[in-house]
Amino acid sequence: MNLNPFKSDNGPVTRAFHITPSDDHDLEHVTRWCWIGRAGCILITLANDDKPVRLHLTDTGRLDIAAKRIHKSGTTAMRIVGFY
């Protein structure tokens, strides 16, 4: 059993960054989860996928996704923060 939470995917996140959606560039880090500060639609490409998925978020809060890109077109959710 790994007792060091910083070496486990189940441990606490140690870094965060503000996300600016982009149709052309991947995120600087693959997220472990995102915080959505204002509900809306979000178009994401997951870490192990090449096709984007559209989610309709009716509330703010934590979104447990491993995202490599959050697309500008199709995203109306705002104040997105990525954690890794």
Domain spans, the chain: 23-83
**Higher pLDDT among residues 20 and 5, named by residue:** 20
pLDDT over threshold 50, residue 36: yes
Model pLDDT, residue 3: 42
Model pLDDT, residue 11: 79
Question: What's the whole-model pTM score?
Answer: 0.84
Contact 62, 79 (CB under 8 A): no
Model pLDDT, residue 1: 38
Alpha-carbon dihedral sign for residues 74, 50, 82, 22: negative
Mean pLDDT of 57-65: 96
Model pLDDT, residue 9: 63
Contact 74, 43 (CB under 8 A): yes
